[in-house]
Structure 1
Amino acid sequence: MSYLANPVAVAHATPKTRDDIALRDAVRKALADTEAMVVEFVAGQTAEGFSLAEIDALYVLEPPLMLGYRVDGGRIRVSYDSRIVERSA
């Protein structure tokens, strides 16, 4: 398992090799999945009657410190398990 401390930088990089392109694309997909999770969560909360300010006050996105990836049979497998949790009082 290898780790990236700044997946956003990798997502915006200009790759030079085929492996770098595959890694960039896998990182972009992981970040897009996280974005979709947040959008779905916010839509669900607003449908229940919460305002955006209330959602922001009650919940927080916890992304992992690093993005993990491994090469599996020529394919890059990314692990980026963000989650939304209730804020502590």
Structure 2
Amino acid sequence: MAPRKQKPAEPAAVVEVAPEQPPVSYIANPVAVAHATPRTRDDIAIRDAVRKALAETEAMVGDFLDGQTAEGFSLTEIDQLYVLELPLMVGIRADNGRVRASYDARIIDRQA
């Protein structure tokens, strides 16, 4: 008998694996967490991350107001032209042993 011909091997499908993202948990009331008395190290890390996120948001709003008033706008005009959008919850994730908070506040033009 003659040997059978080998079927050409199908190339293996290459699956690109995305880097695994740490799970995100959400805090519904960041102000209460920022003023809470922590009981564990994890609570301390979460409280500090939330405080940092809220401080960054406050600084962003302050810088925006300073820039607009430097351009000659009054606070009333700024209030009529812009709105501050705040998310309902703060996202918390553990990244290489560090707690990271994301609070994506933004200032947008009001729709007239």
TM range (shorter): over 0.9
* Shift, 1:6, TM fit: 0.7
Measure the CA separation in 2 of the matches of 1:44 and 1:37.
11
Alignment pair present for 1:81 and 2:104: yes
Alignment pair present for 1:19 and 2:42: yes
% identical equivalent positions: 75
* Shift, 1:26, TM fit: 0.4
Q: Could you list the runs of 5+ residues in structure 2 that have no partner in the other structure?
A: 1-23
> Which structure has more helix as a fraction of its residues?
1
Segments ≥4 residues shifted beyond 2 Å: none
Amino acid of the structure 2 residue aligned with 1:22: A
> SS in structure 1 opposite 2:39?
coil
* Shift, 1:65, TM fit: 1.6
Measure the CA separation in 1 of the matches of 2:56 and 2:102.
11
> Which structure has more strand as a fraction of its residues?
1
Q: Could you list the runs of 5+ residues in structure 1 that have no partner in the other structure?
A: none
TM-score (norm 2): 0.77
TM-score (norm 1): 0.97
